[in-house]
Structure 1
Amino acid sequence: MVGADIGGTSTRVAVADTSGRVLARADGGPGSPVGVGLDRSAAEIRAVVDRALAIVAADGAAAEVRAYVLGMAGGSQAKDNPAFAAAITPDRIAASPWLVSDLAVAFCSATSAEEGYVLIGGTGAVAGRVVGADVVAWSDGMGWLLGDIGSGFWLGREAVRRTLLALQSGAALSPLNRAVVAAAGSADYTTLVSRCYAERPTALGRFAPLVSAHVADSPEAPAIVAEAASALAATLLALAVEPGLPIVLGGSLLAGPTPIAAGVRERLAELSNPVLPAGPGALGACWLGLRSIGVASREVHDRLASRR
């Protein structure tokens, strides 16, 4: 199986055998067609896939690639595009590329279940109900201008906005405010505003980690975290979550032990659903490939996810 997770900041590829053993991994730069266009997307994907397959070949494995699955955000312009499919497929791969949602591969990275929910908190914020390889319902994911409440962009914007309010009023700057000023390179109100507007809007996400870093020493940071956690939990719960189905938390804000992940888990604690952290999306793509050829045992998924 060749599985890929294609995003706006990175391209990650994994190769696994039918027992769930991971044979190779390779990473590259941005690969989402939305961010870099179809031609650059195809070139980056092909380059990273070639590197992963070269690792497998160097180890002496020359087996047939039986499935080629790519999880991709905003992949609609690439789907069912014969030229794109040809450009991303090395000669060694006879299987046709199968493009699925990045939400589906995030869900499958954490569980062998065929149905459940996934909540992603990264630069953006979105939740979806996954059935098989399809996202049959979703919530938020409307982008920085119209939604993505509680996302990395939203957190970064809040950190900067509250710093600007402190500068406007002449109040003493909190440690979070001072960290924002240091990261932006200016404590001057007008200059800080100008520098933020000079960048692409989603670049405000770079200030997001400062919020978690200053939860213990800045009064506004816990308030921002609490608001983000409530918003993210509400995004998921808007899907009318059915009891018992797994919920997978993914993205930089939720997959690890962050204050926001803890807040979301606290707000979901009354549900009967198991809440799981997402793993590498490329492995979730490999799992979809395995299922497509009839391999669906939990033992294989556990091995693929390195739990056994």
Structure 2
Amino acid sequence: MVLGQHPPRGKMAHQGTGWRRPLEVGDDVAVNPVVVGVDIGGSKTHGVRVDADGSVLAEKIVGSANVESVTHAQADAALDELFDALGRDGIDVVCAGSAGINTPAQEEWLAGMISRRAPGAKVVIAHDTRLILATPEFDTGIAVICGTGSVAWGRNEAGDTARAGGWGYLLGDEGSGYWVTREAVRHALRQADRGLPADPLSDAIARASGVQTAYEVLGEFYAEPVRRSWAQKSSVVFDLARHGDEAAQRIVADTAEAITVQIASVATQLGLTGPVALGGGLIVNQSTLQDAVRAGLAERGITGVEPLTREPVFGAVYLARQSLS
């Protein structure tokens, strides 16, 4: 990754949960701190500004600021829009959880982007899966995000952490919304290559793409590189699967297996049998996928599988407050 901005001023520290500038002598921390939580996903960026009592002072959802999904210019614009709405001054801590944050250099780059927009604030950076396991009640276990991309992350009581997936769409993201749509497009192309008539799945993915044939879908797929727009089309696969389409049902089954394998890998590394929090737009909104993943994990002895009941951005708020202690 090309570093578009210099990291923020001050000594830097890389810790297990992310990058942060530690508090230093002379730092002014309010008695009643105001914190900002930011959740940067592949499709959107969600931010909240919260006071010491937990009251939400401002909230805003903008486009993705994840540079694995958008350009640096688009990420800049999204963060500007976000902090214009939340306010840039009077912030004590900002915690941003982002997909695609895998190295200290990436963490420092994002910290610099945040610091420019919240001058004087302490900045904490974490992978977005960390936000799911950031509550007083649910601080250990396994979190999976299955939205535009896919990744699983976990922590056990000893404080050990592990992850699986999150490689990005070029190398992985199996079980993600983008992957589901890509599998549907591949199915349509195989049908066409064999000289077979378009089946219901081929027709549905063509209509969702605004064209009529599989080869036209192929052209659209390369002409429109924005992953989130293709991930959103995954709903047509689940709709057909619910109505008994065998091709769509195979893709849904493969999706559930891919997510199950990621979760099981983390569970094995950490010696966990649950609980598991399901996050991300695809799996939260597709009950059929939840049921299939839950069944696959039960076969592996992993239980306590439930969809996330609060927005991940409030996990960022929790981590921001923790950083002050």
Q: Distance in 1 between matches of 2:206 and 2:265?
A: 36
Q: Secondary structure at the match of 1:117?
A: strand
After TM superposition, the structure 1 = structure 2 runs for residues 204-223 of structure 1, keeping only pairs within 5 Å, are 204-215=230-241, 216-223=243-250
Secondary structure of 1:145's counterpart equals coil
1:276 aligns to what? 306
Q: Distance in 2 between matches of 1:190 and 1:38?
A: 31
1:128 touches 1:138 (CA, 8 Å); kept in 2? yes
Q: Name the counterpart of 1:49.
A: 83
TM-score, normalised with respect to structure 2: 0.75
Q: Is the 8 A contact 2:91 2:118 kept in 1?
A: no
Residue 226, structure 1, aligned to residue 253, structure 2 = yes
Are residue 80 (structure 1) and residue 108 (structure 2) matched?
Answer: yes
Q: Which runs of 5+ in 2 are unaligned?
A: 1-34
Q: In the alignment, what sits opposite 1:21?
A: 55
Assess, with a 3 A threshold, how the Cα gap between structure 1 residues 40 and 220 changes in structure 2: closer, same or farther: closer
The alpha-carbon deviation at position 68 of structure 1 amounts to 1.6
Q: Which runs of 5+ in 1 are unaligned?
A: 55-61, 295-308
Query: For the structure 1 residues 119 and 157, does the alpha-carbon distance in structure 2 shift closer, same or farther, using more than 3 Å as the test?
Result: same
Q: Say how many residue pairs are matched.
A: 281
CA contact (8 A) 2:100 2:166 kept: no
* Alpha-carbon distance in structure 1 between the residues aligned to 2:77 and 2:207: 37
- The correspondence for 1:122, drawn from 138, 147, 159, is 147
Question: In percent, how many aligned pairs have the same letter?
Answer: 28
Give the corresponding residue for 2:323: 292
- Give the match for residue 8 of structure 2: none
Offset from partner CA, 1:77-125 (integer Å, 9 cap, x none): 45335753431215xxx4311111111113327x633222111111221
Name the SS of the counterpart of 1:20 in structure 2: coil
Q: 1:96 to 1:190 in 2, by over 3 A?
A: same
Structure number with greater CO (CA < 8 Å, separation at least 6) is: 1
Structure 1 length normalisation: TM-score? 0.79
Cα distance 1:227–1:95, how it changes in 2: closer, same or farther (>3 A)? same
Q: How far has the Cα of 1:272 moved from its partner?
A: 5.4
Residue 37 of structure 1: how far off its partner (Å):
5.2
CA contact (8 A) 1:104 1:130 kept: no
Structure 1: how far apart are the matches of 2:275 and 2:62? Answer: 30
Structure 2: how far apart are the matches of 1:135 and 1:84?
A: 29
Pairwise CA RMSD of aligned residues? Answer: 3.0
Q: What is the alpha-carbon distance in structure 1 between the residues aligned to residue 221 and residue 240 of structure 2?
A: 21
Q: What is the alpha-carbon distance in structure 2 between the residues aligned to residue 67 and residue 9 of structure 1?
A: 24
Partner in structure 2 of residue 262 of structure 1: 291
Mapped contact 1:212–1:258 kept (Cα < 8 A) = no
1:103 and 2:111 aligned: no
